[in-house]
Structure 1
């Protein structure tokens, strides 16, 4: 891994792909842990187009020690530093026949434990008993996301499409995208690889057309302390937790 290259790509483009972070055995172990969970829990969402597990690492704690293997911890420390912690985890299973797609957007909210009126935070939403709020811009700018791919993913089964460097332009409304200037890139990612991205990167996801699954673990990280009145709804010091699993 030449992490200097990845660091430059994240700073310049807002994303980067790192190959061979997880072995086939590790991927299969994670999938086995998922299959052993109770799909009737309220944090699970299942439809013809999507199977999702919110607060994934709380629901599937057996996966923590594998997800945070030595390679991933090295990547996080080298690219972002020692002070980051996990604040959100979701498992997405896009079935082979899925017609689900997501249009271009930025990830502008964080998950918190309750709704409290605080200057700079808002508006709030509440979906599936989970509060989300748009925080001040500096929090979004410092956060990052890691997407662990459990299947080979390309344009035909829902690979993310992104607009490089859009993360550096603050709030960027999708309807204002100037396609004479911007370009779209498909982030094809192999099984066992990870994609790292900044929340303000404009991204979208297409329908599946090749009858292949797209299973991804979506992890969000921050090093920011929130006002005392609210807390991150999901907090994990992965360095300490992975040592106990």
Structure 2
């Protein structure tokens, strides 16, 4: 990865709301991550299991031994060069979409952040609480500032639930999926190789289809911000 390439990816994200960069992790690095995942105690309450989806919320907090494997030199370089020096982790989730999954995700924006408590603050709301975890829709400028990295542990294409996105939709504020004008908008499938990443702005409309090729799709989803929240509110998953 050369630095001048990162400038290209950065401008693509700025213009279209997403970009794919392959070869961020070697096969050996991915295998080490998978080995850790294969040996975790899945009975904890932040783990969600169904035949269609296995997910771990607060992933980097729950599995701290995986952090050094994930933040290899390439990821650190991407964060620093594309996002900026001051960015830190504010949310992390692990998704495993099994081979037989019928898990289908309709078009949506990622509109909530994870915080440590519920407070009455102007511009913050609605609020939700899951297992003592607080999520809230913050003011637009906070959402516009976030970057998401999705690390792919498997080759992903349109047949095993690769993300589909609507380019430029991140620049239109809150964009209700039911109001998508398909005469104006286009859809793009984001194919990512094993060991590659997809970078996305959370306001980019995205969804995924069911798996049809009997192949796994395992993804580590990490969100980054450089903002402190107002008053006494804090990011619940902040990691420097």
Structure 1 residue 129: deviation in Å? 2.5
What does residue 91 of structure 2 align with? 88
What does residue 240 of structure 1 align with? none
Partner SS state of residue 39, structure 1: coil
Q: 2:186 and 2:6 mapped to 1: Cα distance?
A: 25
What does residue 153 of structure 1 align with? 156
Structure 1 alignment gaps of length 5 or more: 238-245
Structure 1 residue 80: deviation in Å? 1.4
TM-superposition CA deviations, 1:70-100 (whole Å, max 9, x none): 0110111111110000000100000000001
Query: Quick one: which of 224, 227, 230 aligns to 1:227?
Result: 230
| Aligned ranges 1:23-172 → 2 under 5 Å | 23-172=26-175
State whether residues 113 and 131 of structure 1, in contact with CA within 8 Å, keep that contact through their aligned partners in structure 2: yes
Partner SS state of residue 92, structure 2: strand
State whether residues 37 and 59 of structure 1, in contact with CA within 8 Å, keep that contact through their aligned partners in structure 2: no
TM-superposition CA deviations, 1:37-69 (whole Å, max 9, x none): 110011100000000111111111111011000
Query: Quick one: which of 207, 210, 223 aligns to 2:210?
Result: 207
**How large is the Cα RMSD of the aligned pairs?**
0.8
Structure 2 alignment gaps of length 5 or more: none
Partner SS state of residue 78, structure 2: helix
TM-score (norm: length of structure 2): 0.97
Q: 2:189 and 2:126 mapped to 1: Cα distance?
A: 31
